[in-house]
Amino acid sequence: MFFDNNRQRMEEDLAKIREANLPPEKLKEKEDRERASKKSFEENEKFTIKDIFAMSIAIFSLIIPYVLLILAGIGLTLFIFLR
């Protein structure tokens, strides 16, 4: 648990050191690959109306049970006190 975080930081540091020690040709190749992958990711990242509708349904499915519980509590409280 404690060592996993340190291990991850160590791996990140090693990756940075390796990248800093790359020759210019390899560094340019790596930057080109990263730029190409970023470009393809941006092309695939377009929201449609279906995506927005699906996200809205997901949000409502998370919120509605709590809203119904609160309304049921309010209704039960009113029923008991106004009897």
| SS3 label, residue 1 | coil
**pTM, rounded to two decimals:** 0.43
For 36-76, write each residue's pLDDT tens digit: 777 666 666 777 888 889 999 999 999 999 999 999 999 99
Q: Judge whether 11 and 3 are in contact, CB under 8 Å.
A: no
Three-state DSSP class for residue 82: coil
The residues near 27 (Cβ < 8 Å, ≥ 6 apart) are: 19
pLDDT digits over 25-34, tens only? 777 787 778 8
Please give the Cα distance from 36 to 34 (Å, whole number).
5
